[in-house]
Structure 1
Amino acid sequence: MKKCGLLILFVALLTQSSVFAKLPDDTFTQLRAQVTAAGQTSPSAGIAEIDELLALHKDALAKAQTIRLLYIKSWYQINSDFIEQAMNTLAEARLMATDIDEPGILYSYYSISASALSNAELYELALENNLKAYQEAPLLNRPEFISQTENNIGHIYLKLGLLDEAEHYFQRFYDFAVAQNLIPQQGTGLNNLGEVALLKGEIDKAHMFHQQALTIRQANGLAYHEAWSQFNLGRVYAAKQEIDLAEHYLQQAIENWENKHAASKTLQAKLELAKIYSNEQRYDEAMRLLEDVITLGHEHRQPTSLLTALKMHSEHLKQKGDLKAALAAQEQYNQVSDQFVKKQAAVSLAYMVSQTELQTKEMELKQLEQTHQVTVAMAKADRQLGWFILSSAMLIIVITWYFMYRLNNKKRQLQTLLNQLERTQEKLVESEKMRAMTTLVSGMAHQLNTPLGLVITADSTLQSLVEKLAAGFADKTLTQKQLAHFINESTELLALSQKNSEKAADMVQRFKMMSAKLHMSECSTFALLSFLKENIGRLAQSQNKAIHFNLSGDDIEVTNYAPVLLKVITQLIENSVKHGFVDTQEPQVDITIQCDKKDAIIHYKDNGAGIPLDKRKQVFDPFYTTRLGEGNLGLGLNIIYNSVVHIMNGQVECVEDAQGAHFVIRFPRKVASAG
Structure 2
Amino acid sequence: MNFWYDLQERERLMLREDGMLDRFEAHITKAGEILICLISVRNEDLFLFCIQDVTRQYQVEQEIRDMTLQLEERVIQRTLRLEHANLELANAMESLKYAQDELIRSEKMVALGKLVAGIAHELNTPIGNGVTVASTLQDNARALLSAMDEGSLRKSALQQYVQSALTGTDILMRSLGAARDLIGSFKQVAVDQASNQRRTFDLKTLLEEIVATLSPMYKKGPFGLVLVLSAGITMDSFPGPLGQILTNFLSNALAHAFEGREQGEMRLSTQMQDPDHVGLVFSDNGVGIAELDQKRVFDPFFTTKLGQGGSGLGMHIVYNITTGILGGTIRLESELGHGTRIVLVLPLRAPEISLDANA
Structure that is richer in helix per residue: 1
Structure that is richer in strand per residue: 2
Greater RCO structure (CA 8 Å; 6+ sep): 2
**Which one has a bigger Cα radius of gyration?**
2
Normalised TM-score (structure 2): 0.48
